[in-house]
């Protein structure tokens, strides 16, 4: 599968997937977000691409832009097993890890007025449009809900998490906190390993 990060329409951006010979066909060709983060580390972009479309990938996985560090590439391979996925390009030159201090809550609904703490709200593009940054909150419309609705229950929050990973650096995130019951106990450990490879904790 080949995944690109590109401008989609107007201010919208997309992780666009092109299936290859051994891949399944995802229900949508792109994960669309209404806007782009100000800062975007290559490892987090690679991780978001895999979170969005990895469940339909088998064989070669071509990641956007500069690709992934060895740590992220290995985490992707481990997560995909028993399916064999080979991420590329892999950048072996050392580069600094993105560091943050904030614990950022991830939600699928508009933030409650006056709520404390940093948060990223990934809301359906059928009920909202655009991106809004106010105080410690980012609200971004996306079609992530459609990709997650088509996934197995154990992987039913990965596209939403992909959007949160894209915007995590803008919030100085050290970790992301998921909504209660968004991910099963069995599904949490693999996601924690994936995010740890890009220096993000998952709570």
Tens-digit pLDDT profile for residues 3-57: 999 999 888 999 999 999 999 999 999 999 999 999 999 999 999 999 999 999 9
Residue 203: strand, helix, or coil: coil
Place of tokens 């997937």: 17
Note whether residue 97 is domain-resident: no
pLDDT score for 116: 73
Note whether residue 28 is domain-resident: yes
Note whether residue 94 is domain-resident: no
Q: Which of 59, 88, 117 is the last residue of a domain?
A: 88
Indicate whether 108 pLDDT > 70. Answer: yes
∠ CA 147-151-154, rounded to 5°:
130
E strands, 82-188, where? 85-88, 102-107, 119-124, 131-134, 137-142, 173-177
Question: What residue numbers bound the domain in which 148 lies?
Answer: 102-202
Instruction: Check if the beta carbon of residue 100 is closer than 8 Å to that of residue 120.
Output: no
Q: Left, alpha or beta for 128 (phi > 0: left; psi -120 to 50: alpha)?
A: beta
pLDDT score for 154: 66
pLDDT score for 10: 86
Q: Which of 47, 62, 88 is the last residue of a domain?
A: 88
Q: Are residues 79 and 109 in the same domain?
A: no
Q: Which of 88, 118, 140 is the last residue of a domain?
A: 88
Indicate whether 152 pLDDT > 80. Answer: no
d(CA 53, CA 29): 9
Q: How many domains does the chain have?
A: 2
pLDDT score for 96: 86
Indicate whether 188 pLDDT > 80. Answer: yes
Q: Are residues 80 and 106 in the same domain?
A: no
Q: Are residues 161 and 129 in the same domain?
A: yes
d(CA 174, CA 169): 9
Residue 31: strand, helix, or coil: strand
Q: Are residues 113 and 196 in the same domain?
A: yes
Q: Are residues 128 and 183 in the same domain?
A: yes
Q: Are residues 120 and 58 in the same domain?
A: no
In the numeric block, which tokens belong to residue 81? 């097993």
pLDDT score for 111: 77
Note the pLDDT tens digit of each residue in 56-70. 999 999 999 889 999
Indicate whether 166 pLDDT > 90. Answer: yes
pTM value is 0.95
To the nearest whole percent, how much of the chain has pLDDT over 90? Answer: 80
Indicate whether 112 pLDDT > 80. Answer: no
Note whether residue 117 is domain-resident: yes
pLDDT score for 67: 92
């Amino acid at each position: 599968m080949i995944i690109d990060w590109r401008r989609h329409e107007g201010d919208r951006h997309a992780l666009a997937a092109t299936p290859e010979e051994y891949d399944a066909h995802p229900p949508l060709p792109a994960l669309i977000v209404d806007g782009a983060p100000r800062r975007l580390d290559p490892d987090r972009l690679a991780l978001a691409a895999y979170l969005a479309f990895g469940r339909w990938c088998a064989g070669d996985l071509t990641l956007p832009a500069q690709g992934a560090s060895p740590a992220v590439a290995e985490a992707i391979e481990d997560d995909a097993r028993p399916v064999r996925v080979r991420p590329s390009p892999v950048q072996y030159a050392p580069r600094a890890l993105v560091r943050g201090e904030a614990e950022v809550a991830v939600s699928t609904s508009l933030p409650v007025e006056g709520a404390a703490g940093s948060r990223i709200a990934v809301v359906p593009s059928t009920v909202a449009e655009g991106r809004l940054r106010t105080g410690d909150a980012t609200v971004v419309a996306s079609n992530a809900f459609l990709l997650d609705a088509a996934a197995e229950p154990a992987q039913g929050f990965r596209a939403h998490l992909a959007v949160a990973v894209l915007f995590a650096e803008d919030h100085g995130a050290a970790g992301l906190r998921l909504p209660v019951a968004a991910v099963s106990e069995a599904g949490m450990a693999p996601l924690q390993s994936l995010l740890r490879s890009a220096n993000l904790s998952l709570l």
